[in-house]
Chain A
């Protein structure tokens, strides 16, 4: 797609949103059976799956910490997640995102409860549409809670940016590609910023405004994350369809 002439027309953005509106968002907790905790998230055009395993034994052994759990985070984009096929495997960008995302969640996980163990978080981007790192953090945070990992609170994240000289919340693909700045922010419920990156330029005043807007967006996301977890419990209470259960069990003679 070529650059559109204007990204904001009559105060409306190209997808019809106002400056401080989020895209449609849908969380679903506990979608994977084999993982300890999981979450599927649709965040506008982004489709993200997060899975959490652990606490479990650390392999390789030398990574383990005697006094706390280690947290490992893998952000990975599927080859089909973008228009032009992405070469599979970790690259410079995904390694960086894995690191900052891990740090944004590590600060709320009560790691000292599980010494010598590992908590593994896997985030797969199935479809990308700007703001995948914040989508990944939102999904991972719900998946961690779903896995029963003790945490101080959830982490919510969203991006703000500058498009056509205006500060707008939650950039979409075109705004991200042709905008002037992109600022992903993650905060926890106490208002502490756990992730802050910036691409592009913002004046001090603009930055302040952008940060306030991001915090508002994160609050909305926080509500949705809580909702997803409460809903999952509601479904557990509802009568479950009878399914054929194979007889498991190991023999020990």
Chain B
């Protein structure tokens, strides 16, 4: 697929009804508002090549608790805006006088963005399955725009990583990835994810990564012998 690269101000179309994310309309024309790749499948969208993570409702993210008030925790979610987790959104009943017992500063959590208001107040929730405190494992940071490549089409990439390396992985929309498993395998998984991040724009990535993992595993086996 030939992908069209645009910079801010490029004209993308004449129909304002098709303007999607990463675009704006002026004088009846659609312009690009971002540096990125055009997607014209349903409407006209520009997929940015870079930029910070901006929370959106429904995103699953990995946050780090940085602050706490009478009834809220605040989590850094790798974004300009902090996420707020109210005690009522904690999986179990919380005694407000003793919040530290449940979640303390420095802990990592998997949370869902419950709501984002126009002033960018971000509300998080942990009341859902999969959402929990991360007690073990490792978390790495990559650029959030590369997350779709790490997941792959219908989760093909991430499925392969989990299966071939026998590692539990959770990928947050905010560019944080949690991994747990055997130390050597986690090391290799992290190396592989960084490789995916670096080569995110090449085609046939899944096959290339599969080959890479096989080669690396071979090496691992021969070195332990």
Contact = CB atoms under 8 A, between A and B. Distances in A.
B220 to A, nearest CB: 14
A237 B191 CA distance: 19
Given A248-B190, A249-B190, A151 B137 contact: no
A184 interface: no
A188 B26 CA distance: 14
B138 interface: yes
10 contacts: A108-B8, A116-B119, A116-B120, A145-B8, A146-B35, A147-B50, A150-B33, A247-B190, A248-B140, A249-B138
Contacts of B36: 148
B127 to A, nearest CB: 21
Interface of B: 5, 7-9, 22, 24, 26, 31, 33-36, 48-52, 54, 80-81, 107-108, 118-120, 134-141, 145, 179, 187, 190-191, 194-195, 198-202
Contact of B7 (A36, A66, A110, A226): A226
Interface string A143-179: 0011111111110000000000000000000000000
B140 A249 contact: yes
Given A240-B198, A245-B191, A148 B51 contact: yes
Contacts of B134: 252
Contact of B191 (A154, A225, A247): A247
B195 A245 contact: yes
Contacts of B119: 66-67, 115-116
A56 B52 contact: yes
B137 A252 contact: yes
A253 interface: yes
A55 B107 CA distance: 25
Nearest to A55: B80
B50 A252 contact: no
B201 A110 contact: no
B7 A251 contact: no
A252 B134 CA distance: 7
Which 6 pairs show the lowest CB-CB distances between chains A and B? Answer: A148-B51, A153-B9, A148-B50, A249-B138, A151-B8, A145-B35
Contacts of A245: 191, 194-195
B3 to A, nearest CB: 9
Nearest to B208: A239
Contacts of B202: 237, 239
Contact of A149 (B51, B135, B145, B198): B51
